[in-house]
Amino acid sequence: MGLEGAPAARGRGARSRRSRPMTSPVSRSVGGMSTTDDYVFRTFPARAPGEDQHDATRAWLQADAQGFHDSRLGDASLDRSATNLANDHQQLTAVYTTSPRPSALGADVPVATFASFERSINVGGAVPLPAHLISSITVRPTHRRHGILRRMMTDDLRSAHEAGYAVAALTVTEATIYRRFGFGPATTVHEVTVTTDQRFRLLTPASGHTELIDPATLLTLSPEVFAGFHRVRPGSVDRHHRYPGRVSGLDGPNGEEDRTVRAAAHYDESGAIDGYVSYRFLGWDTRPHTLEVVDLVATTDAAYLGLWEFLGSVDLIERVRYDAAPADDPLRWALVDPRLIETRDVVDWLWMRVLDVRAAFEARGYTADAAGEVVLSVTDALGYAQGAFRLRVADGRAVVEAADRSQAELELDVWVLGTLYLGGVDPAVLAAAGQLHEVAPGAVSRLRTLLRPVAPVHGITHF
């Protein structure tokens, strides 16, 4: 099934329309550009101001903003955004109509956008795994049902596979779009509201100390602290260049400074900074008076609880909203009254797509007590992960070998493999849902033991 006409990736909340089954149009390719009778597909590197193709980058940014219902970008915002994309070495795909209608947007304005770039994902191994990230997918609603989304996605995944990436990943606005391309939801976050009136107390006071800081400090501090989080947290995705400006408020909505953003840092017992939070007050008209967390990064559990202890102590505030809390939140167990935490929503966050089964699972980390083997039979409509594979784990490492399908103990689609990959989803739950089919009795239990994560899985990066 195709699903076009609205933003498909980057953030959450947009709606899309379901379309008829579709096939990709026949194309003619020249370099980074290909054409059909109706469209020109062009892929090019993002360019900063003063570089060749910067005008194409600016037009792409305006189309992307329109797709996500953002305001039209001014020159300063366009230049800043283009510079960030270029610094991230993002590859942009723009789709142009060959037959613009009179008075409609011109042929130089993309009807669809797509971006991809490399960042690492912590998969629990000794080093983070380079991953192919996909973002900014939009298709103008007046050009849906033409196979544009399918064409952009399949071309990009083919390029990622040829480049040797073991996995691809994205975050999504619609949960129904991406399984058919082999992506499965691998991590979740909780959107929570925490009551911080006089009842807010921790069972044990947090160690360390928290102090207010100038939000501008986060331009240099936030990447350093996040690097510490990224090293220790499976499911974490390394951040792109726009993050420091966003979390500090210096690059706010429409490219203007958000002066409502405040910040605080947590110091451990030695005086080293091991966490920070940026936040904003939602105004006196909001009842109860509420703080909204912009970003909260902690490299230790003590820093996480210390930052929450600070948020709970801010005068005149009765509620704190946070949209990226971990599924197994230690705050709930640290509070005298755990009922102060209300979960507003449980949101799928990172969607994973395995492109190379052997490379992906041999790069992954395994617990010291994980030992054994299981044979997986994987179905992949695009072919990249198709086949049977013997996963053998010992001493915290895995070896993956090709196997015969007649030896299969578990059968699954590649999107299920992506969901299982990080260890944040229990294989027994997927089996109960009818998505993981046990051929050999006991195989689900064995896989559950093998894929247990080395630490709780949690990611806090938007892209």
Q: What is the DSSP letter of 128?
A: P
Query: Does the annotation mark 366 as catalytic?
Result: no
Contact 157, 181 (CB under 8 A): yes
Contact 48, 34 (CB under 8 A): no
DSSP 60-90: HHHHHHHHTTPPPPPHHHHHHHHHHHHHTT-
d(CA 346, CA 192): 9
Query: Does the annotation mark 226 as catalytic?
Result: no
Listed residue (374, 359, 348, 355) closest to 448, CA to CA: 374
d(CA 73, CA 38): 28
| Rounded alpha-carbon distances, angstroms, from residue 94 to 80, 151, 247, 273, 412 | 20, 12, 28, 42, 34
User: Is 106 exposed, middle or buried (CB count within 10 Å of its CB: 0-12, 13-18, 19+)?
Assistant: exposed
Torsion, Cα 77 81 87 90, to 10 degrees, reads -160
Instruction: Give the angle 333-123-434 at the CA atoms, nearest 5°.
Output: 80
What residues contact 108, with CB distance under 8 A and at least 6 apart?
59, 96
H or E stretch covering 449: helix 443-450
Instruction: Give the strand pairing for 319-325 and 290-298.
Output: parallel
Q: Tell me which of 178, 366, 389, 421 is the catalytic residue.
A: 178
Q: Tell me which of 114, 322, 384, 463 is the catalytic residue.
A: 463
Contact 247, 218 (CB under 8 A): yes
Tokens 């239990």, located at residue: 445
DSSP 211-239: EEE-GGGHHHHHHHHHHHHHHH-TT-B--
Long-range contacts of 13-22 (CB under 8 A, 24+ apart): 13/173, 14/68, 14/69, 14/173, 14/174, 15/173, 15/174, 16/173, 16/174, 16/177, 17/141, 17/144, 18/176, 19/144, 19/145, 20/145, 22/145, 22/146, 22/147, 22/150
Q: What is the DSSP letter of 206?
A: P
Instruction: Give the angle 168-171-176 at the CA atoms, nearest 5°.
Output: 100
Contact 13, 192 (CB under 8 A): no
Active site residues: 178, 463
